[in-house]
Amino acid sequence: MKPIGISIFEIQFKPKRIQNLTPGTIMSRANDPQLKSWIEVKPGSDFPIQNLPFGVFKTAEKTPRAGVAIGEYILDLSAIAQAGLLDGISFNKKVLSQKTLNDFIALGKPVTNAVRERLSDLLDMQNNELQDMPELKKQALVKQSEVQMLLPVHIPNYTDFYSSREHATNVGTMFRDPKNALLPNWLHLPVGYHGRASSIVISGTPIHRPKGQTKADDAVAPSFGPSKSLDFELEIAFVVSKETELGSSVSTAQAEDHIFGLVLFNDWSARDLQKWEYVPLGPFLAKNFGSISSPWIVTLEALEPFKVETPKQESAVLPYLQFEGPKNYDIHLTVDIVTATGASKTVSNSNYKYMYWNMCQQLAHHTVNGCNIQVGDMYASGTISGPTPDSYGSMLEISWQGKNPVAMPDGTERRFILDNDTVVIKGYCEKNGVRIGFGECSGKILPALP
């Protein structure tokens, strides 16, 4: 495996500590569990100094710009760059003052990793550079509660996979045949479809209940109206930072070099529309009315210590899908439903480590035919369900098509999502006392428009 963290910054600045935390993997200094920031990071925070996820924010005074989350604050990268604190890394600093991260992440890992290392250094308790600049600190540290987060990237293309074996088995069991729940192709390739990029919105953006055609099993003709079985899908998406030419392919070994990081993702789904429309070409209006991304892109480098082996793939996969080493990530995931009255219940406890097909295989498969990828593309995992009912990643599975309603603390029941419900996805990794979190991916369903 290629060591991470061998960056321009390290070559120029030679940091004192590079630790070998996991056999065979050289971790960068920014991952050191001993690091502490001079900015307070409360226990249970998603954003310790070892994380430093990238996002885009704006305030009443500030135009959109790049930042990293640290504790309850955001470090304004535009301000830090203007003050000359990133001068040791050679790149056009204007990329940090834009409304998306596309141009920044397109600079590639040597630059983005060097920036992450440098920011880690500036926020390190043992480094006085920024600590001793009170005016700049006042300008460059902004409370997360006082900003508006924006979609972190412009998304040229969006693809949704179907890579959780448990999810595919549950859906196949419900809709087809429990004995042949997985279709014949499923164990041989990561099934996916091309989704809609234009309707991906940032966490906190409400979506109106979609309207469309549905047909009850006993009805002779379809009818039109608001979806009666609106669902969430608990997913994680990866963001591409290195484009390819049309005609070229990305191997499983190269894939991580093309991926900047991960976000939490809610792929809102209208099950009744889906059931009627999906034959024979797959999802369409049941999926493209809105999907939610969390605001912070957690880098693959920050997630490196949390890599785990993938579930054993029982069918021998074709050579282009074979891979070496751990490719999954141990990311705890929860889904909460919050009602209009504020009653809240955790309806799912899942984990990204359950994914049968990993993101390197997904990208290799996606490009094996020569399909080109673009900077900012999002590739979602598909619903992430675990082996037990409390770990299922959609209401379709949790309520088993509505047969087992979920009791809410306010006495109401949920088979699917009701108007004015908010669905909140959270995720984090934890090991050696370090918690790398994703923040929130939250979205409210408003009543259908007239």
Binding site for Mn ion (CB under 5 A): 160, 233, 267
**For residues 225 and 214, is the Cβ–Cβ distance under 8 A?**
yes
Torsion sign over Cα 306, 311, 312, 313: negative
Which residues 6+ apart lie within 8 Å of 388 measured at CB?
none
Q: Which is nearer to Mn ion, 91 or 162 (CB)?
A: 162
Minimum distance, C-beta of residue 377 to Mn ion, in the bound complex (Å): 16
Which residues 6+ apart lie within 8 Å of 104 measured at CB?
54, 66, 95, 96, 98, 112
328-344 burial, b at 16+ Cβ within 10 Å, e below that, comes to: bbbbbbebbbbbeeeee
194-198: long-range contacts, CB 8 A cutoff, minimum separation 24: 194/157, 194/158, 194/159, 195/158, 195/159, 195/160, 195/267, 195/283, 195/287, 195/288, 195/291, 195/380, 196/158, 196/287, 196/288, 196/291, 197/155, 197/156, 197/157, 197/158, 197/378
Minimum distance, C-beta of residue 261 to Mn ion, in the bound complex (Å): 19
Minimum distance, C-beta of residue 150 to Mn ion, in the bound complex (Å): 23
Question: Which residues in 50-157 belong to E strands, given as ranges?
Answer: 54-58, 65-70, 73-76, 141-143, 148-150
DSSP code for 269:
E
**For residues 86 and 118, is the Cβ–Cβ distance under 8 A?**
yes
Q: How far is CA 222 from CA 276, 280, 300, in A?
A: 9, 17, 46
Q: Which is nearer to Mn ion, 244 or 274 (CB)?
A: 274
- Annotated catalytic residue 167: yes
* Amino acid identity for residue 287 in this structure: K
Minimum distance, C-beta of residue 431 to Mn ion, in the bound complex (Å): 28
List 445's β-bridge partners, or say none.
207
Using Cβ positions, the residue closest to Mn ion within the complex turns out to be 267
Minimum distance, C-beta of residue 271 to Mn ion, in the bound complex (Å): 12
Q: Which is nearer to Mn ion, 71 or 290 (CB)?
A: 290
- Enter the tokens of residue 37: 């920031």
Q: Which is nearer to Mn ion, 267 or 440 (CB)?
A: 267
In 34-108, alpha helices (H): 77-82, 102-105
**CA nearest neighbour of 133 among 145, 122, 142:** 122
Could you count the other beta carbons within 10 Å of the beta carbon of residue 88?
13
**CA nearest neighbour of 72 among 45, 93, 49:** 45
Minimum distance, C-beta of residue 348 to Mn ion, in the bound complex (Å): 14
Catalytic residue among 167, 258, 365, 366: 167
Q: Which is nearer to Mn ion, 9 or 265 (CB)?
A: 265
Q: Which is nearer to Mn ion, 51 or 227 (CB)?
A: 227
What's the CA angle centered on 374, arms 242 and 376, to 5 degrees? 85
* Amino acid identity for residue 4 in this structure: I
**CA nearest neighbour of 333 among 366, 372, 294:** 294
Q: Which is nearer to Mn ion, 32 or 267 (CB)?
A: 267
Minimum distance, C-beta of residue 191 to Mn ion, in the bound complex (Å): 11
Q: Which is nearer to Mn ion, 106 or 202 (CB)?
A: 202
Minimum distance, C-beta of residue 382 to Mn ion, in the bound complex (Å): 5
Catalytic residues: 167
